[in-house]
Structure 1
């Protein structure tokens, strides 16, 4: 089965589940804010409103795609809940009075047809009101674009009745279906297919069609519109309504990349789990937990800092469980996680990525990714799993690179090699290395370097913090630069504008043999005599390791530059941890 068909099939399965749980709106209904309610429950019609956004409950109301100029053949009113132009014929301006009258006539015809089919007494009351001159009294208060609907009792609106919902689905189906029958490309059942899709997917403020076969560029073998990929009415509406539900509900989506200049580059990840997972203890096992690696930072007003989402910590706790404990926690062995990455290309929906994996496989991929990306914090505190949102912002990833990272996180693909030069460029930036405000970017860049170097390897765990047993020359050279910086800082009592790192990091990380000689001479003659023997012994230890590894290499390639960066980052974090610990204990730094 093609991944596209698999995705549509899974969306239909999700729709059935959401309908059972009464979470999905009726067919071709969508959330609307009501401005005015015409109450027909008393002796005389009564106007309620105006309701501003939030003053009246958000309702699921009839909806359909309507576009183009309004004509006799192109009047598409919404059943019972529409704006003042359709409900009461209120024009936007005197010049548009004929258009408003055309809209109103189409609206009345729709109510008449609904009454003929359902014989609901409530619809008879609506028609009596629309035929009466009393409606003119309400026109003065209601705006042309205000949403107006009807009510016959205090508990519900008329369009919320099941008979109205059934009629609306059947009405749209009869209007949209072709005269031919064929096998639906989603469910496989033979039936009449839709000539065009009834509703759009709302993404990044764009109204996107699921298919675009009505355009000449998509015609094939003389076939137009949805003849190329026939879809029955049920599948067409359910897929669109389910996509809109996932995009609307915070539990099921995360913006991955937002571009104000090019809407096509903006990407939204939607995700769901195909069955309920019973958790154990305080860990809530749901789609938000599994999506936490790509969630956005949260802003902590108390600390005035960005923090990872709470689900990320819960995920780490789950990954820390023994594998047998995990299986006991999940209870289900055949549960799947689904994710799609969507973009809006003007009026067309673009599916950038489709991920479908079992929970057991997913946990294995997440564990491997978490081990590779986790690294000690710059302060020396224990590292944690950084959200992808932080990594994206740290190095300004392209949309394509973001999707490749998703494959690493959820499908176990190797990290993209393009990350290495990107993270290195950002890491060795003078501002990132020295500005406290850029600490998060410094941390994120180091995390990405470690991801590329250690993904799927045993070193993923041993390289989370300082590794005194790592004998790679580049790693040792990075540690050496951090030691020389610390000697300089302590010798000058931490009262220093720029350090040797600010001036020589780029040269030391690419051409160590020609750089470290002068740095060592400066350190041993000017700075080392002013500090404690502890740093002197550490310097001797690092130099001994480097001699045993073959001395200073002439030049470092990109991978070795990343190893250098990790050695420097780890050793620097170790110093800062000791410094913070000494300050907390009130002992100060030994000189």
Structure 2
């Protein structure tokens, strides 16, 4: 994984998409302009009013002291740049003076190394009383930098950027050498990582071996996993890039109520390929499309129905392309998809999952998953590919189950065994079955049931909607239960408050032989005479299929309960589709 990250970082730097080594994009508040004869203060800049600049970054934490002062080169807050204290307490005043002294000392060091006249002008300004004129305007935590000419900011000059890397490397590497765990070069390895990875609002290190439990044969810090400065810095920088750019990450799981940070999971993903420019097809593959299955989508306010993200439709169109044309268009054997699932504990980054696969294999797995999970909508409209986030939320998946589902989607693993009982438990909840606000959960649970039953099988395509030729007794019983509900609803003119589903779904889906007798007697004597002949004929057809299949079973096992649920869901969706069609056409009920 780390090797692939280094490859990605090199590509991003060539394409100018990622800041230089040990730099990050940062929003600034003020620019002290020294390009003229008199210093001029530009700002304050609110978010979006000035471009994000490339600013030096390094890891700094803990209480500021003489042994722990770590200024950023030329871009820092006003405590460092101008020595503005946070308040007038003697402790804060002394602290700001110490910060400012180290900030100036660092610029002096750069000037001695580069002899850049622009730095001399900045030093003259900082050593003079001219800076005090800005004290009333700038707040201590405001980010400040300098501009010495009209063309660019001094902090973005290549010589400054090169010095910053050399400065950090000199300070942070060990005196010993070892083979880098990533590039295998024999070189000094980092003792302390130059910066941390920002995940879920926390700054976490890539590795940590400071506790005795993590030491091996007396080796401490990064001796256990030596990484050269270049690889260590690139790895952290590219992780932060992926976590910054929306198209490269998706939050999979977060327990917001318990606030258990270790349970939170973030997926980061990217594509690496070895194609030349002339080999690329007209259609370009985008990682955000391949990962769109993870996106949460949105929930409409009135009906709470799920609206999938637009990229998911693009993924479906991609999967619908003929396989041979797809291979030729994308050179899929030379293109690879990478995904890492990350968490953060109190000390360091945690990699929960690592997925590495060719696009050719990936599309095959996605195609199999999409066929198994796609199901008609509750309204009877054509089904679409539901995002994983909706399925997670529908049944409250655990973090471990989420990762198992990722392996199923992207690597072709079998559906987790616990998925079926979890989806079944949620599906047969009376609220999910009947509350319009739970329509999205009803749809998602049915989708998961179909996934667990049909993944990798021919039925994945034939069971997307009502299948009159699927003659399993459990499926037919589910259809029969939906027919009896519809008879009851039509007999009451759709004005009934509570249906047989509220009272008998659990019994009918587990012990049909002891439940359906009384339900059939009630329907044929009290309700059937009040509905259309067509609906009565449908009841006879379903009963005939059930008789030919062996009649009512005594009890259903877990898989048969899921087939019952699918039969009920499919038949119900068929009724709702026809009901809506009749209302649109202004006709009476028909079957």
Report the TM-score range of the alignment, normalised by the length of the smaller protein. Answer: over 0.9
Counterparts of 1:458 and 1:13 in 2: how far apart (Å)? Answer: 40
Counterparts of 2:524 and 2:484 in 1: how far apart (Å)? Answer: 9
1:129 aligns with 2:125: yes
- Label 1:487 to 1:280 Cα distance change in 2 as closer, same or farther (>3 A): farther
For 1:443, the equivalent position in structure 2 comes to 443
Counterparts of 2:271 and 2:300 in 1: how far apart (Å)? Answer: 29
SS at match of 2:188: strand
Counterparts of 1:351 and 1:305 in 2: how far apart (Å)? Answer: 34
1:70 aligns with 2:58: no
SS at match of 2:509: helix
For 2:513, the equivalent position in structure 1 comes to 513
After TM superposition, give the deviation of residue 241 of structure 1 in Å. 0.3
For 1:166, the equivalent position in structure 2 comes to 162
- Label 1:118 to 1:300 Cα distance change in 2 as closer, same or farther (>3 A): farther
- Label 1:485 to 1:280 Cα distance change in 2 as closer, same or farther (>3 A): farther
Contact 2:305 2:439 in 1 (8 A): no
What pairs with 1:293-372 in structure 2 (closer than 5 Å)? 293-298=293-298, 306-372=306-372
Contact 2:85 2:95 in 1 (8 A): yes
After TM superposition, give the deviation of residue 279 of structure 1 in Å. 7.7
For 2:270, the equivalent position in structure 1 comes to 272
After TM superposition, give the deviation of residue 52 of structure 1 in Å. 2.0
Counterparts of 2:296 and 2:568 in 1: how far apart (Å)? Answer: 28
1:550 aligns with 2:550: yes
Contact 1:177 1:233 in 2 (8 A): yes
Counterparts of 2:99 and 2:511 in 1: how far apart (Å)? Answer: 75
TM-score by length of 2: 0.96
- Label 1:172 to 1:436 Cα distance change in 2 as closer, same or farther (>3 A): same
User: For structure 1, which runs of at least 5 residues remain unmatched after alignment?
Assistant: 1-6
Counterparts of 1:78 and 1:302 in 2: how far apart (Å)? Answer: 50
After TM superposition, give the deviation of residue 305 of structure 1 in Å. 5.4
For 1:205, the equivalent position in structure 2 comes to 201
Contact 2:332 2:358 in 1 (8 A): no
After TM superposition, give the deviation of residue 478 of structure 1 in Å. 0.3
Counterparts of 2:495 and 2:131 in 1: how far apart (Å)? Answer: 80
After TM superposition, give the deviation of residue 321 of structure 1 in Å. 1.7
Contact 2:273 2:334 in 1 (8 A): no
Residue by residue over 1:228-264, the C-alpha shift from the partner in whole angstroms, topping out at 9 and shown as x without a partner, is 0000000000000000000000111111112222111
1:255 aligns with 2:273: no
What pairs with 1:188-587 in structure 2 (closer than 5 Å)? 188-260=184-256, 261-275=259-273, 284-298=284-298, 306-587=306-587
After TM superposition, give the deviation of residue 50 of structure 1 in Å. 1.7
Contact 1:279 1:285 in 2 (8 A): no
After TM superposition, give the deviation of residue 346 of structure 1 in Å. 2.4
Counterparts of 2:150 and 2:583 in 1: how far apart (Å)? Answer: 67
Counterparts of 1:25 and 1:125 in 2: how far apart (Å)? Answer: 26
For 1:120, the equivalent position in structure 2 comes to 116
Moved more, 211-220 or 110-119: 211-220
Instruction: Report how many aligned residue pairs link the two structures.
Output: 584
SS at match of 1:475: helix
After TM superposition, give the deviation of residue 49 of structure 1 in Å. 1.6
Contact 2:268 2:341 in 1 (8 A): yes
Residue by residue over 1:75-107, the C-alpha shift from the partner in whole angstroms, topping out at 9 and shown as x without a partner, is 100000111111111111222111111111111
Moved more, 251-260 or 295-304: 295-304
What pairs with 1:35-50 in structure 2 (closer than 5 Å)? 35-50=29-44
TM-score by length of 1: 0.96
After TM superposition, give the deviation of residue 304 of structure 1 in Å. 8.2
Counterparts of 1:366 and 1:279 in 2: how far apart (Å)? Answer: 22
Contact 2:491 2:528 in 1 (8 A): yes
Moved more, 527-536 or 205-214: 527-536
Residue by residue over 1:318-344, the C-alpha shift from the partner in whole angstroms, topping out at 9 and shown as x without a partner, is 211221121122134221000000111
RMSD: 1.6
SS at match of 1:333: helix
Counterparts of 1:19 and 1:97 in 2: how far apart (Å)? Answer: 41
- Label 1:284 to 1:437 Cα distance change in 2 as closer, same or farther (>3 A): farther
Counterparts of 2:306 and 2:444 in 1: how far apart (Å)? Answer: 13
Counterparts of 2:173 and 2:138 in 1: how far apart (Å)? Answer: 36
Moved more, 236-245 or 99-108: 99-108
Contact 2:482 2:568 in 1 (8 A): yes
After TM superposition, give the deviation of residue 140 of structure 1 in Å. 2.7
The correspondence for 1:30, drawn from 24, 34, 40, is 24
SS at match of 1:510: coil
Residue by residue over 1:88-127, the C-alpha shift from the partner in whole angstroms, topping out at 9 and shown as x without a partner, is 1111122211111111111111001111111111111111
Counterparts of 1:238 and 1:201 in 2: how far apart (Å)? Answer: 11
- Label 1:540 to 1:588 Cα distance change in 2 as closer, same or farther (>3 A): same
Residue by residue over 1:343-372, the C-alpha shift from the partner in whole angstroms, topping out at 9 and shown as x without a partner, is 111231111100000000001000000000
User: For structure 2, which runs of at least 5 residues remain unmatched after alignment?
Assistant: none
Counterparts of 1:456 and 1:151 in 2: how far apart (Å)? Answer: 62
Residue by residue over 1:165-214, the C-alpha shift from the partner in whole angstroms, topping out at 9 and shown as x without a partner, is 10001100000011111100011011000101110000110001000112
SS at match of 2:74: coil
After TM superposition, give the deviation of residue 588 of structure 1 in Å. 2.1
The correspondence for 1:101, drawn from 82, 97, 102, is 97
- Label 1:19 to 1:202 Cα distance change in 2 as closer, same or farther (>3 A): same
For 1:60, the equivalent position in structure 2 comes to 54
After TM superposition, give the deviation of residue 399 of structure 1 in Å. 0.9
- Label 1:285 to 1:478 Cα distance change in 2 as closer, same or farther (>3 A): same
After TM superposition, give the deviation of residue 299 of structure 1 in Å. 5.8
